[in-house]
């Protein structure tokens, strides 16, 4: 497949960023079997005379953008949805009926190709947490979620568990001083990272306005179940990391794209819902066509939010490890709220949304956490096409936060932490381990999806305190 790079399109004369993004999407979709010379010829004709392409079924969106006409979604209304596409459910007995019903709506969408539901799934807004949905040339903001690019990152350190026992006070102090959680506030010292110089922040008015807050929050974490924690690691023999079997320590973090991701999600979800009217139960699943300016705007913004989330984790790990004089010998990381351009089993391009699901292509590394007392799993994917190359992103809630507040107590939580020998800095009863499913049940339900490479055992846990 011939692929033109953005710089090559710019050299041909297509310098408008939005038009260039639209063109790249069209090339990947419609010109798989054309050589580079043929594609360049079409592009040069288009650039010289875009008016001739205004009625072209493939290139009209690019031509309209080049001459200043809107390429926004046309208003579409759907009174009914189609028969459901294939849906594979893992660990069905552990999943509430509400989550299954939500996923059923997802695979009935006109743009749906298929879907899967992970064993940790529970009901969300629009698509359930733990849902995976493949679509045809369309992106659904709420199938990605509010916290775009929410992800895991594990730094493996060449020390053993005795290091934590000897240095627990210093490690607790560093976690208190070099992390920040919650909606407001930031770290007390300036953060420096290449993401702050990313030109995409200047691409749209929305991103330009979001930049100051993104710079302010860089290196911090969200609230809820987000955390930064030290723990011990046991790696299996012949693990794909290539590290010797044995005991290590690690720094594990869970967080996303902060206010930047929420701003993008809210704006483009509303834009999609304004132009794509669906039956009431499915309305939050409104989509943006990737051949439109709005679709390309969301795609660019989503990619930036994912890179920003990664940058936040990198800053957290850099700041904490530097303060302790430690260095990592290996990194494992993965998104679990995102959309990717991938291929189905027939080689067709699809957009795979993973809302609370871990990518699990053959050999792909990931981390599946549990709760503040039980093990997180370091895994590698088995490349199972039935799951759309995905696995769970955690153990999954079995109690809502409100129910946990009403039925569980702080004293119970403190007793459990003491029994397990775990220090909790911050945290609330909403994150009580009993509010979550059993991680071993979840892992058993997805044995066809991932290999277990090792386990991480929490020791010092830092969370938000509402």
**Two structure tokens written together for 265:** 């999600």
Please give the pLDDT value at position 441.
96
Counting every residue written for the chain, the total comes to 466
C-beta atoms surrounding 364 within 10 Å:
18
Same domain (yes/no): 445, 313: yes
Here the CATH number for the domain that contains residue 390 is 3.90.1860.10
Instruction: Quote the CA–CA distance of 207 and 267 in Å, as a whole number.
Output: 11
pTM equals 0.87
For residue 346, being part of any structural domain is answered with no
What are residue 97's phi and psi, to 5 degrees? Answer: -65, -30
Q: Tokens 């871990």 belong to which residue?
A: 358
Same domain (yes/no): 204, 313: yes
Owning domain of residue 15: 6-66
For residue 249, being part of any structural domain is answered with yes
Q: How are the residues of the chain apportioned to helix, strand and coil, as percentages rounded to the nearest 5?
A: 40, 25, 35
Q: Convert the pLDDT of each residue in 39-78 to its tens digit.
A: 887 878 888 888 888 888 788 888 888 877 655 566 778 8
For residue 6, the Cα-to-chain-centroid distance in whole angstroms is 25
Same domain (yes/no): 40, 176: no
For residue 132, being part of any structural domain is answered with no
**Two structure tokens written together for 193:** 């990272």
270 contacts 70 by C-beta, under 8 angstroms: no
DSSP codes, 100-113? HHHHHHHTTSTTEE
Residue 354: its H or E element: strand 349-355
CA angle 276, 299, 217 (to 5 degrees): 115
Same domain (yes/no): 62, 158: no
**Two structure tokens written together for 133:** 């949905």
C-beta atoms surrounding 196 within 10 Å:
14
Please give the pLDDT value at position 78.
82
Instruction: Quote the CA–CA distance of 442 and 169 in Å, as a whole number.
Output: 34
Instruction: Quote the CA–CA distance of 155 and 150 in Å, as a whole number.
Output: 17
For residue 117, being part of any structural domain is answered with no
Q: How far apart are the first and last CA of the chain?
A: 51
For residue 109, being part of any structural domain is answered with no
3-class state of residue 99 by DSSP: helix
For residue 432, being part of any structural domain is answered with yes
Among 47, 66, 85, residue at a domain's last position: 66
Same domain (yes/no): 45, 191: no
Same domain (yes/no): 31, 158: no
Instruction: Quote the CA–CA distance of 155 and 229 in Å, as a whole number.
Output: 11
For residue 32, being part of any structural domain is answered with yes
Pairing between strand 151-157 and 328-335? antiparallel
Same domain (yes/no): 36, 157: no
61 contacts 291 by C-beta, under 8 angstroms: yes
For residue 144, being part of any structural domain is answered with no
135 contacts 82 by C-beta, under 8 angstroms: no
Task: Spell out the residues 6+ positions from residue 187 whose beta carbon is closer than 8 angstroms to its own.
Answer: 178, 179, 180, 218, 219, 220, 319
Instruction: Quote the CA–CA distance of 117 and 396 in Å, as a whole number.
Output: 12
Q: Convert the pLDDT of each residue in 196-254 to its tens digit.
A: 999 999 989 999 999 999 999 999 999 989 999 999 999 999 999 999 999 999 999 99
Instruction: Quote the CA–CA distance of 35 and 226 in Å, as a whole number.
Output: 47
455 contacts 231 by C-beta, under 8 angstroms: no
Same domain (yes/no): 313, 425: yes
Eight-class DSSP state of 86: P
Task: Spell out the residues 6+ positions from residue 432 whose beta carbon is closer than 8 angstroms to its own.
Answer: 404, 408, 412, 413, 416
Regions of the chain where pLDDT drops below 50: none
User: What is the count of structural domains for the chain?
Assistant: 2
């Amino acid at each position: 497949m011939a692929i033109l790079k953005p710089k090559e399109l710019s050299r041909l004369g297509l310098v408008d960023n939005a038009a260039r993004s639209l063109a790249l999407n069209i090339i990947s979709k419609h010109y798989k079997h054309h050589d580079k010379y043929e594609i360049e010829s079409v592009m040069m004709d288009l650039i010289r005379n875009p008016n001739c392409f205004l009625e072209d079924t493939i290139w009209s969106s690019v031509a309209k953008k080049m001459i200043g006409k809107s390429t926004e979604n046309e208003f579409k209304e759907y009174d009914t949805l189609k028969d459901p596409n294939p849906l594979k459910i893992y660990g069905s007995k552990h999943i509430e009926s509400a989550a299954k019903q939500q996923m059923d709506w997802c695979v009935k969408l006109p743009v749906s190709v298929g879907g899967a539901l992970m064993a940790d799934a529970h009901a969300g807004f629009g698509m359930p947490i733990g849902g995976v949905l493949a679509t045809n040339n369309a992106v659904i903001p709420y199938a990605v979620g509010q916290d775009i690019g929410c992800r895991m990152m594990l730094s493996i350190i060449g020390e053993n568990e005795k290091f934590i026992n000897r240095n627990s006070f210093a490690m607790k102090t560093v976690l208190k001083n070099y992390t920040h959680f919650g909606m407001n506030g930031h770290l007390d010292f300036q953060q420096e990272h290449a993401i702050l110089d990313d030109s995409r922040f200047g691409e749209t008015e929305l991103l330009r306005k979001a930049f100051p807050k993104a710079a302010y929050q860089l290196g911090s974490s969200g609230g809820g179940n987000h955390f930064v924690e030290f723990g011990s690691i046991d790696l299996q023999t012949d693990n794909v990391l290539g590290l010797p079997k044995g005991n290590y320590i690690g720094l594990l973090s869970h967080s996303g794209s902060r206010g930047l991701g929420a701003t993008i999600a809210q704006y483009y979800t509303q834009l999609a819902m304004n132009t794509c009217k669906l039956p009431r139960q499915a309305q939050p699943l409104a989509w943006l066509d990737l051949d439109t300016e709005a679709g390309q705007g969301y795609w660019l913004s989503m990619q930036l939010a994912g890179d920003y989330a990664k940058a936040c984790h990198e800053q957290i790990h850099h700041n904490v490890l530097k303060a302790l004089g430690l260095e990592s010998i290996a990194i494992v990381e993965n998104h679990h709220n995102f959309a990717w351009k991938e291929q189905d089993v027939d080689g067709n391009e699809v957009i795979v949304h993973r809302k609370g699901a871990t990518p699990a292509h053959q050999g792909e590394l990931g981390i599946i956490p549990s709760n503040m007392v039980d093990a997180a799993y370091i895994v590698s994917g088995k490349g199972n096409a039935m799951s759309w190359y995905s696995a769970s992103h955690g153990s999954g809630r079995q109690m809502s936060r409100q129910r946990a507040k009403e039925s569980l107590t702080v004293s119970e939580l403190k007793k459990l932490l003491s029994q397990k020998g775990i220090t909790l800095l911050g945290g609330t009863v909403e994150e009580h381990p009993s509010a979550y499913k059993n991680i071993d049940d979840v892992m058993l339900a997805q044995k066809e999806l991932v290999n277990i490479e090792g386990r991480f055992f929490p020791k010092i846990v830092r969370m938000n305190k509402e």
